[in-house]
Structure formats: structure tokens, C-alpha cells
């Protein structure tokens, strides 16, 4: 199985000034959902791993979070894609859990659930915590220059927190461009054979 684990905030949706607490507040980064569909069509399973400390702080509840993710699922489905599952950590930063990124617990749960060797997993996101969790997992790491990393440019100076071996992409779509083999060029149509002249028996 080919598995990509994506971050949510800043990668699939723009960063908000505060927590996204309702489905009405959630919108996709332009091109991100189409990139997921292209991954799917290339044979990749896509799972989202996200820290949601607003749950632990009581800023929204599981019903609201499920509504947000239901909207995300509907919108990616509308462009021909699929997110297999969303795994989230509900804990606040001071709870010292094993699943809050940059700890690798959430990503370990995903790779174990899907039975994928950890070094074969593609971990893709725009924030330090997601990439650092991927590094602890032993996965292949990809930074996309949106959200917290909108100031980073491929080929330019890399942030000091970026784990060694990470690759940098302008967007999620650019990551997919580099991951998937180029589509074969369509063959030119063959010219039709000329019809026999009128009155020609053909032999």
C-alpha cells in the first residue's frame, strides 16, 4: 500500500487567526483537494493527522470537529478524491500525551493501522510539528510552502527546524507533480485508410 499522511491546518486549509471551531469556518487551500484526488488516482491512500488542542481546551466539541471533517470529505469527494481517515490528537500542549505532534504517536497509529513500513510513508505538511513527527517515525518528509511555511521558497534558505532529508515543494500540488510519474503523452490519431474508389470491387 502507498500511504501519504498529510497535516490539516495550513496544508489543506488556510491558517486561521484562532482555532477553526465550526464547519462554516473551514475552507480549502486552492488546489489542495485536487492534489489529493490526483494522489488517489496515482494509487495513493491519503490520511490526515492533526493536532486539535481546541478540544482539550473546550473551545469546540467532537460534534463540531466531525462536522468540519465531514465538510472536508464532501469537498474532496466532489473533485474525485478521497481521504481515507482523519486521526487527531485532542490534547492540550500541557497534557504531555504521546500523540500530540511533534511526538510520533499519531503517525505510528496510522502506519500500524494501514500496515505500511514506516520508511515508505510520505509525510507531507507545512509546519514544524508535522515534519518532526514524521522524522521520528522514520518516514519520507515533504515540506509544502503554505501556512506556517508560506515564507519558505524551494531552493532558498531552509528553516533551521526542518529535519535532515526533507524535500521542499511550493504547494501540495507541486509535491504531487514530483511524486507521480508524468502522464504518458496521448498518441496521435492514426490516419484513416482511404476508401476504395467508387465502382472499385476492392479486389
Return the C-alpha cell found at 172: 501540495
Say which of 7, 61, 112, 177 is annotated catalytic: 7
Active site residue 9: yes
Return the C-alpha cell found at 120: 515508505
DSSP letter for 110, please.
Answer: H
**Polymer length in residues for the chain:** 203
What order of strands is seen across the sheet that includes strand 85-89?
Answer: 85-89, 44-51, 2-6, 122-125, 140-144, 167-169
Q: What gap in Å lies between CA 180 and CA 107, rounded to an integer?
A: 23
Count CB neighbours of 10 within 10 A: 20
In 3D space, the residue among 82, 132, 140 whose CA is nearest the CA of residue 111 turns out to be 140
Instruction: Cell 473551545: give the residue.
Output: 59
CB under 8 Å to 156, separation ≥6 — which residues? none
Phi, psi at 171, each rounded to 5°? -160, 175
- Do 50 and 73 form a contact (C-beta atoms < 8 A)? no
Active site residue 174: no
- Specify the 3-state DSSP secondary structure of 102: coil
Say which of 9, 18, 94, 174 is annotated catalytic: 9
Known catalytic residues are 7, 9
Amino acid at each position: 500500500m502507498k500511504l501519504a499522511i498529510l497535516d490539516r491546518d495550513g496544508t489543506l486549509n488556510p491558517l486561521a487567526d484562532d482555532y477553526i471551531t465550526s464547519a462554516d469556518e473551514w475552507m480549502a487551500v486552492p488546489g489542495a483537494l485536487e492534489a489529493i484526488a490526483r494522489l488517489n488516482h496515482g494509487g495513493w491512500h491519503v490520511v490526515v493527522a492533526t493536532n486539535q488542542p481546541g478540544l482539550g481546551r473546550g473551545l469546540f466539541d467532537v460534534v463540531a470537529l466531525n462536522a468540519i471533517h465531514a465538510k472536508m470529505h464532501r469537498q474532496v469527494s466532489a473533485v474525485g478524491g478521497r481521504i481515507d481517515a482523519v486521526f487527531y490528537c485532542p490534547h492540550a500542549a500541557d497534557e504531555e500525551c504521546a500523540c500530540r505532534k511533534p511526538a510520533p504517536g499519531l503517525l505510528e497509529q496510522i502506519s500500524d493501522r494501514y500496515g505500511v513500513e514506516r520508511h515508505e510513508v510520505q509525510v507531507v505538511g507545512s509546519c514544524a510539528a508535522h515534519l518532526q513527527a514524521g522524522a521520528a517515525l522514520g518516514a519520507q518528509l515533504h515540506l509544502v510552502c503554505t501556512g506556517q511555511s508560506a515564507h519558505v521558497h524551494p531552493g532558498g534558505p531552509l528553516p533551521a527546524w526542518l529535519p535532515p532529508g526533507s524535500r521542499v515543494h511550493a504547494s501540495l500540488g507541486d509535491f504531487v507533480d514530483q511524486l507521480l510519474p508524468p502522464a504518458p503523452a496521448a498518441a496521435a490519431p492514426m490516419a484513416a485508410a482511404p476508401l476504395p474508389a467508387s465502382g472499385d470491387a476492392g479486389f
